[in-house]
Each structure stands twice: as structure tokens, then as C-alpha cells.
Amino acid sequence: MHERVGPKREMTVGQLLAQVCRMSGHHLRRHMERLGLHRGQGFALIHLWHHDGIPQRELARAMHIRPASVTNMLQRMERDGWISRSRDDADQRIVRVFITPKARGLREKAKTVFRQMEDELNEIYTVEERETLRRLLMKLHDRFTPDPGDDPHHHAFFDEPPGKDEDSA
């Protein structure tokens, strides 16, 4: 455990949450960089492992980021060989995003990174504390998600993507 010595500064719940999110984001980013991924790209790949070929705009919505932001991120991912993009045959306005074999090969390593992060959290809290924290964070998530019941891409990272058996055939 990392106990700090000295006077503790009083922070509001919002300030504390912002600080913890920032610090945990930096921590996760360091892990992702070891895999060759940059900010947000790991989360994009999680969605694509489950929904390969989804429209770019839908990926932005699922990640709760602006379409322009996802475009910039996908340009970098395409340049680095993680994804490919192509216009939809039926509607040329739609750009579909596909994972590459390079990205498919990264799935197990990425799962390991997310498991390590989860293990680090599990070392800090008891089972009861984790359940309470999860319940409270889900309450925040549901409050801030624009349409929580309308998210077709909500899934657990460790779930196997649809058609996994077909991919391995």
C-alpha cells in the first residue's frame, strides 16, 4: 500500500474522483504504451474485437467521444497497422472500421494488461469494498451516460467476441 505521510488535504468528491481518474489513466497509459498503443486506442480495440466492421461514427458514440476525435485516433491506428477503414458498399457516407491481424494478435496481451490493473485494484480493497465501489461507480456511469439503455456496445472486456469460433476456423 502507498500510505502518504503528512497532512491530508480535504478534497471534494468531485476533485478526488477527477484526481483518481487522471492518475489511473496515466497508469493504464503506461501499460498500453508497452504494447505500442496510444491514448484511447486500447479501448477502441476492445470495441472492435467485439464489433469488427462497425461504422466509425458508432465507434465514437460507444466510446463517448466526438466523431472528430475518433477520426484522429483512427488515422493514427491505421498508420500504425492496427485497423483498416473502408466505405460501406451500400452507403458511401458510412466509414467502417476493421481490425487487422496485428490487432487480433494483441488481444491476449491487452487482456493481460487489463487483468493486471484489475489485480492491482483487488489488492487495495476487500471483496465488500470492491462491490461497494463498483456499485457506486456504476451509479455515476449510468448518471453520466447519455442513453445508458441504448448502448449496443456495452460489454465486459473479458467476454469473448461474437463469432470467435468462426475466426479461429
Q: What is the mean pLDDT of each run of 10 residues along the chain (169 residues)?
A: 58 90 87 84 91 95 91 95 95 96 92 87 91 92 71 49 45
Q: Are 45 and 153 in contact (CB under 8 A)?
A: no
* pLDDT value of residue 159: 53
* pLDDT value of residue 161: 53
> Quick one: fold of 36-145?
Arc Repressor Mutant, subunit A (1.10.10)
To 10 degrees, the CA torsion angle through 35, 51, 85, 26? Answer: -30
* Whole-prediction pTM: 0.71
Provide the greatest CA pair distance for the chain: 63
Return d(Cα 156, Cα 145) in angstroms, integer: 16
Q: Are 43 and 60 in contact (CB under 8 A)?
A: no
* pLDDT value of residue 8: 63
* pLDDT value of residue 116: 87
Domain boundaries, the chain: 36-145
* pLDDT value of residue 163: 54
pLDDT digits (tens, 9 = 90+) for 41-86: 988 998 999 999 999 999 999 988 999 999 999 999 999 999 999 9
* pLDDT value of residue 147: 64
